[in-house]
Every structure is written in structure tokens, then in C-alpha cells.
Amino acid sequence: MIDKSLLPQHVGVIMDGNGRWAKKRGLPRTEGHRRGAEVFRAISTYASDIGIPYMTFYAFSTENWKRPEQEISVIMDLFRNFLHEAQDRRAENEERGFRFRFIGDLTVLPEDIRSLAEYMEQNNPERGRTTVNVAVNYGGRSELVRAVREVASRVQSGSLALSDVSEKTVSDLLYTSGQPDPDLIIRPSGEFRLSNFLTWQSAYSEFWFSDVLWPDFTTDDFDRALEDFARRNRRFGGI
């Protein structure tokens, strides 16, 4: 058991390795995504149970549109199913203390998915134990461009003085506005990069990498990441 005071307040997860998991088993890549969706549910539930206030899962990046059309279609169907299921289990999710947020540019998603996501966000419980951010059509660089454009627009209109632009100004215009930056970012699957995930927010994040492919990722793996995090000395540039 980890001392709750040593738990991260915000954990980011890059859900990677679904396609390779399926290939190793002679299955279509889409089966890896289906299994990965089940692991997402298990890890988000476990994180809420042990008291982590914020989780951000990288579900679909701005670069993932380059994938085969059939694979994209399956991923969108999984997202659609998740939204329908969350509506059906609304009472249970509220009792558990889930608040769902969707970060990224949702304007290019199918209309029914956008409507379901907006409805879920608007009907979140007023208070929640764990906020689950699902990053869909998300890219850290495009998020920064969006924030910079808004800053420029406000300066141009005179509602914001150039001399008043600060790090907080930018942070307040990101999708994660009002949330703490991630203390810990987990990437399974043997890759060692951020892949355009939470570019601004991860400036002082701790990283934990694993060779385990996401569909094989378990709560025990999550515990190992938390235990490693608890042993680290975070100095934030100090001594």
C-alpha cells in the first residue's frame, strides 16, 4: 500500500501497443483496440478507487487520422460505445465519483459522437472524486497553437495587455484549464517518447515506461508505476 500523500494528483496515460498486441496473436489490429478499451475502463476505475483525482488517457491523436480507414472506424465505434455505456451507467458513475472531460478538437468527429460527449460533460456531477480526461483528436502542439491564437486575439482586441501575458495566461487557455499538470506520465509498449501528448503540461512530469503492451496492462503494472513515482525526489529545479 502506498501512502496516499505520495500518490500523484494527476496521471497521464499514453495507451499504446494495441496493434502490436493483436499482431502477436494473429488478430486484426481492431481487436487490440477493443481489448485496450477494456483496460482503459479497468485502470480508470482502479485510479478512482485508490483516490487519484485526475487521469488523462490519450485515446486518439491528431496524427492517428493517417491510419487505415477501417481501423479509424472501429476506434470511433469504440468511443461511441463508451459514451452510450457511460450514459447507461450514469448512476453508477456518479456514485463512484467520475467526472468525464473530453479534450481535443471534437469538431471533426461524427456529429452523434460530438453530441454524446457534450451531453455527458454538461451532465457531469457537480462534485467528483476523479476527473477522467479522454484525449480525442488531441495534439499538444495544436493545443498550444489554439491557445496562442486566443492570446493574440485578446491582445488585438485590447482585452489583454501584451505585458500581462504569462504562463498562467497560456495554461488557462489549454484544454486542461483548472486542473493540475500531470505529476506522472505512463507509457507502456516499449516506446520512449511523448508523441505530442500534453506538451505544455508535462514540463515537470515524471515519466514511467514499460515494455508491457497496453492491452496486457494491469492494475499491478499501475501500482508499480505509482510505487516508483513515490520513491522519486521532485525538486522542480531546486536542490
Domains of the chain: 4-139+181-231 (3.40.1180.10)
pLDDT attached to residue 1: 67
Catalytic residue among 3, 16, 93, 164: 16
- Please check whether residue 150 is in contact with residue 173, taking contact to mean a CB–CB distance below 8 angstroms: yes
Catalytic residue among 64, 77, 216, 223: 64
C-alpha closest to that of 143 among 112, 174, 117, 170: 174
- Give the distance from CA 82 to its chain's centroid: 15
Q: Is 228 a catalytic residue?
A: no
- Please check whether residue 140 is in contact with residue 200, taking contact to mean a CB–CB distance below 8 angstroms: yes
pLDDT attached to residue 50: 94
Q: Is 112 a catalytic residue?
A: no
pTM greater than 0.85 (yes/no): yes
pLDDT attached to residue 239: 64
Q: Which residues pair with 208 in a beta bridge?
A: 186
pLDDT tens string, the chain, 239 residues long: the values are 678 889 999 999 999 999 999 999 999 999 999 999 999 999 999 999 999 999 999 999 999 999 999 999 999 999 999 999 988 888 888 888 889 999 999 999 999 999 999 999 988 877 788 999 999 999 999 999 999 999 999 999 999 999 999 999 999 999 999 999 999 999 999 999 999 999 999 999 999 999 999 999 999 999 999 999 999 987 877 76
